Amino acid sequence: MTKHLTQAQVAHFRQHGYVYPMRGVSAEEALGYRRIIEAYETASGRDVNETLKIKGHLALPAIVELARRPAILDAVEDLIGPDILLFGASIFAKNGRDPRYVSWHQDSTYFGLTPHEEVTVWLALTPANAVNGVLRVLPGSHAGPDLRHVETHAKDNMLAKGQTLVGIDEALAVEMPLSPGEFSMHHERTAHSSLPNRSDDRRIGFAFFYVPAHVRSSSGRRRATLVRGTDRFGHWDADTLPEYDCDPRAMSELAQTWGKYKDGEVRQAADMVARQAG
């Protein structure tokens, strides 16, 4: 008995590594979250792509609340079971007429998790479509190994290192168009990417990273938030959640985690695990 997804959607995810569209919040609520995030962006004076990354939920209680929405967690539970940790959240906000893109990549190479059972929920806060740089996936890529990424550090690449899979056949890409408040889900090994925004308005999505409680960090102890069920494993320390917007204790954890991620600690750890396995 599933809680949100149909059996056919669960089967689709298992076979292809992605599923969409599901409704997480109403269109009005999505607009409300967009406004909250844009107000935060204006107040901070910085592009949210620089400040709401990897542990973006630590900036605002509203983002933690969004990550805990029952409709979202019900769908996550249908895929990974009832004991669910949120180990991260990142915004992907492209401006109108924005040349920035996301190159083909697999998160599994960079997340430092074992076993590879993470599921990403990508929640649309604006429409996401073929014109404004919708999220695209490579069906079935979750079933293969972690592939080699070239770290390009390209200027318009929105990824921390411009990490890029080479040799992907674009003709196999599947777009996952969404209306505001809808979400897609993809497995951490599913190769994904997005093109520049050719529309006049922004394209904003929030990606939430969920793991079942038995998944460990392969890069030393890290932090996460139990969002549903029971943690009988204790592999993760608790995130310092914000008690109010821009709570300095939580903001310092956000900044440290993003810094470490960008600077390669997680990647090095993932490399070590790969060497041990290989």
Ligand X SMILES: O=C(O)CCC(=O)C(=O)O
The footprint of ligand X on residues 69-128 (CB under 6 A) is: 92, 102, 107, 120, 122
CB of 102 vs ligand X, minimal distance in Å: 4
Q: Does 207 bind ligand X (CB under 6 A)?
A: yes
Among 112, 162, 180, 205, binds ligand X (CB under 6 A): 205
Residues 6+ apart with CB under 8 A from 86: 57, 67, 208, 209, 210, 224, 225, 227, 239
Q: Which helix (H) or strand (E) holds 48?
A: helix 48-51
Count of residues of this chain found to bind ligand X when the rule CB under 6 A is applied: 10
Q: Does 192 bind ligand X (CB under 6 A)?
A: yes
- Residue whose pair of structure tokens reads 């059996």 in the numeric block: 7
Q: Does 194 bind ligand X (CB under 6 A)?
A: yes
Among 89, 135, 137, 266, binds ligand X (CB under 6 A): 135
CB of 205 vs ligand X, minimal distance in Å: 5
Q: Does 195 bind ligand X (CB under 6 A)?
A: no
Cα separation, 257 vs 254, whole angstroms? 5
Q: Does 149 bind ligand X (CB under 6 A)?
A: no
DSSP E strands in 76-191: the ranges are: 84-94, 102-105, 113-114, 119-124, 135-137, 149-151, 163-165, 174-175, 182-187
Closer CB to ligand X, residue 9 or residue 126? 126
Site residues (CB under 6 A) for ligand X? 92, 102, 107, 120, 122, 135, 192, 194, 205, 207
